[in-house]
Amino acid sequence: MNPSFESDELRGLIDALCEESITPDQLHRLEELVLADPRAEAFYVQYMSLHADLSRHFAALPGRAEQSVRQRIVGPVPGESAAARDGRGWLRPLVVLGLALAAGFLLVLGLWPKPIVISPRPSDPASERTDDSVAVLLQTHHAEWEGTGMPTHPGAPLPPGTLNLKSGYAQVQFYSGATVVLQGPAEFRLISRTQAYCSRGKLRATVPPHAQGFTIGSPTMDLVDRGTEFGLDVGGEKTDLHVFQGKVDVYGPGAAAKSPPRQEVTTGQGITASGAAAPTPIRTDPAAFLTGRELADRAAEELTRWQAQWEVDRRALREDASLLVYYPFQTDQPWSRTLRDEGGGKAKPLDGAVVGCAWGNGRWPGKRGLELKRVSDRVRLHIPGEFNAITLAAWVRPDALPNQNNSLLMADGWDPGGLHWQIGIDGTIILAVRAPPELEGGPYQRGAHYRAFGVLTPERFGRWVHLAVVYDPGAAAVTHYVDGKSVAEHPILFDTPLRIGDAELGNWNVAKYRNRTPVRNFNGCIDEFMLFNRPLSGDEVGRLYTQGRPPG
């Protein structure tokens, strides 16, 4: 066979195919040529194979098939996987192990939201906002905190101040790069990006070379790190230092950098000091100090157990006939364009259509969610009928509120009874209802806007939050909930049946109403949405939050 067979016509048609601009007529002609001559067929196969290889060679990421195979091997995306549907159960023992390891790995890689500048927007636009945080709380495990005014949720930027960990574990990373795993009970003061003080408790510090000079003070000694990993145990009058790797300079308390070091402790050495007495050597015990990796593994194991319970809870939830729409945002198929509705109580599911968006990680590793970033991103849905009462609930991770209004769920257009659930640019959550025609011209001609002010402020960006709103004509009240707690309650302004009809999650379609569309796309991730056609009680909303909140 002569593989160099070619004709300009054949080559031209294949080029059109490669550039994805071929017309049906051209495609037909291409088939004729290929089927008429085995040499043309060979040329076609070789040429397309080259095109495919080129595409793979230049794609920055592994192919989607590879990604999904890796994902499948590590463990099925929990939830309504095929395995769960046909009753085989979604957790196979080794899958659990794989999932736990993968989750731990993700935690170690720093899956948590990045710190955000936290000062309020300045009134003078010329002055730049500032941020006084010095570290980030990477992860926690069974952490119980004594309130000291410091943020305690994973991912939180930490300003200088004292962390009081009553029990459990917490991993803190200073902006200099040094990482500390604290074991409660511990009292640990953050002083700057390169300095901390431990008045009691156990910690393991890992200091990369570029963070050399990281200093931890304690009642009996000050330590200046020279690029290393060490454990510190401060209890009462006694302080133990275990150097696992590298070198630590030991000073008298409060003496660091003022005088030459009292002592150098290097790899495999340990010392204990109590009161003013000279330190004495001890054996190092690496196992006594939890590493970041071990912490991540424990968290992952707990997550796996928690997920099993979550599955049980949500199965029970699906039995609730008033749960009209339930999008768990779980799919085995990251390319899927369908958002499956698993709500009970109706013959036909109200599946949503994913437009744009990218499937990403939801609120825990392994949970799927939809990333919305661009003005095109949205989920189209249709919810027929009229409602007297309604409850909307969603897990969302707002990354920013760039638009005047940022959609959660919005009925197309703005028609009588139409429902608009959205977030204002200042973080106010708004449920708006359009007044019926007979009220047009009156005080409610712009509709009713039930607001919860100042909920999603910038320091909450990048974190998962559970939002719910209950419209209850029985109690004549609209109540907003954030993380299961009521944050605002308003009397209902007028009676009208609520309508949703054609609608969008995370965006708004003004439909026939106008040609120019205001930009209202949500910016962040959504990984769960529920619509009940009844008012949920405060306890029930609280349960949705506690059942849906992953540990950590």
Partner 1 sequence: MAVDADIGHENSGSPADASDDRPDKSKVFLRLFLQNERRLYAYVLTLLPNRADADDVLQDASLVMWDKFHPESPPDDFAAWGCRIAYFKVLDFFKKGHRARVRFSQEMLERVAETAIEQAGVLQLDARRDALAGCIEKLPARDRDLLARRFTPGATTKSTSDQIGRSVDAVYKALARVRRALFECVQRALAREGRS
Beta-bridge mates of residue 430: 422, 451
Tell me how far, at minimum, the Cβ of 413 lies from partner 1, in Å: 28
Between the two ends of the chain, the Cα-to-Cα distance in Å is: 64
Look at the block and give the residue holding tokens 């204002």. 424
Binding residue (CB under 8 A) for partner 1 from 7, 9, 89, 120: 89
Q: Rounded to whole angstroms, how far apart are CA atoms 358 and 531?
A: 23
Which contiguous run of DSSP H or E holds residue 314?
Answer: helix 292-318
Binding residue (CB under 8 A) for partner 1 from 5, 98, 355, 458: 98
Backbone angles phi, psi at 257, to 5 degrees: 70, -5
Q: 311 or 332: whose CB is closer to partner 1?
A: 332
Q: How remote is the C-alpha of 404 from its chain's centroid?
A: 23
Look at the block and give the residue holding tokens 């930490």. 158
* Contact status, residue 191 vs residue 179, Cβ threshold 8 Å: no
Residue numbers 398-437 binding partner 1 by CB under 8 A: none
Q: 60 or 109: whose CB is closer to partner 1?
A: 60
Backbone angles phi, psi at 65, to 5 degrees: -60, -45
374: contact with partner 1 by CB under 8 A: no
41: contact with partner 1 by CB under 8 A: yes
Q: 50 or 277: whose CB is closer to partner 1?
A: 50
95: contact with partner 1 by CB under 8 A: yes
Q: Which long-range contacts (CB under 8 A, 24 or more apart) does 293-298 make?
A: 293/104, 293/108, 295/107, 295/139, 295/141, 295/169, 295/171, 295/181, 296/103, 296/104, 296/105, 296/107, 296/108, 296/139, 297/100, 297/101, 297/104, 298/141, 298/169
31: contact with partner 1 by CB under 8 A: yes
Q: Rounded to whole angstroms, how far apart are CA atoms 394 and 55?
A: 39
Q: 26 or 272: whose CB is closer to partner 1?
A: 26
Q: Around Cβ 130, how many Cβ atoms within 10 Å?
A: 9
Tell me how far, at minimum, the Cβ of 407 lies from partner 1, in Å: 24
25: contact with partner 1 by CB under 8 A: no
18: contact with partner 1 by CB under 8 A: yes
495: contact with partner 1 by CB under 8 A: no
Tell me how far, at minimum, the Cβ of 132 lies from partner 1, in Å: 39
11: contact with partner 1 by CB under 8 A: yes
Q: 22 or 493: whose CB is closer to partner 1?
A: 22
- For the chain, the C-alpha Rg in angstroms (whole number) is 29
DSSP state of 404: S
Q: What is the 3-state secondary structure (H, E, C) of 520-544?
A: CCCCEEEEEEEEECCCCCHHHHHHH
55: contact with partner 1 by CB under 8 A: yes
57: contact with partner 1 by CB under 8 A: yes
Nearest to 533 by CA among 414, 406, 383, 361: 383
Q: Is 443 exposed, middle or buried (0-12, 13-18, 19+ CB in 10 A)?
A: exposed
109: contact with partner 1 by CB under 8 A: no
Tell me how far, at minimum, the Cβ of 360 lies from partner 1, in Å: 14
9: contact with partner 1 by CB under 8 A: no
DSSP state of 197: E
Binding residue (CB under 8 A) for partner 1 from 9, 35, 167, 282: 35
Q: 358 or 511: whose CB is closer to partner 1?
A: 358
8: contact with partner 1 by CB under 8 A: no
Q: Rounded to whole angstroms, how far apart are CA atoms 500 and 12?
A: 51
258: contact with partner 1 by CB under 8 A: no
Span near partner 1 by CB under 8 A; candidates 35-43, 279-287, 418-426, 432-440: 35-43
Q: Around Cβ 161, how many Cβ atoms within 10 Å?
A: 16
546: contact with partner 1 by CB under 8 A: no
4: contact with partner 1 by CB under 8 A: yes
Span near partner 1 by CB under 8 A; candidates 61-69, 181-189, 445-453, 509-517: 61-69
Tell me how far, at minimum, the Cβ of 33 lies from partner 1, in Å: 11
Size of the site for partner 1 (CB under 8 A): 57
Q: Rounded to whole angstroms, how far apart are CA atoms 303 and 104?
A: 10
Q: Rounded to whole angstroms, how far apart are CA atoms 325 and 314?
A: 13
Residue numbers 307-366 binding partner 1 by CB under 8 A: 332-335
Binding residue (CB under 8 A) for partner 1 from 92, 153, 193, 200: 92
Q: 68 or 457: whose CB is closer to partner 1?
A: 68
Span near partner 1 by CB under 8 A; candidates 19-27, 202-210, 212-220, 511-519: 19-27
Binding residue (CB under 8 A) for partner 1 from 7, 9, 50, 454: 50
Say whether 390 sits in a helix, a strand or coil: strand
449: contact with partner 1 by CB under 8 A: no
Q: Which residues bind partner 1 (CB under 8 A)?
A: 1, 3-4, 11, 15, 17-22, 27, 31, 34-35, 41-42, 44-61, 63-66, 68-70, 72-73, 82-83, 88-89, 92-95, 98, 332-335
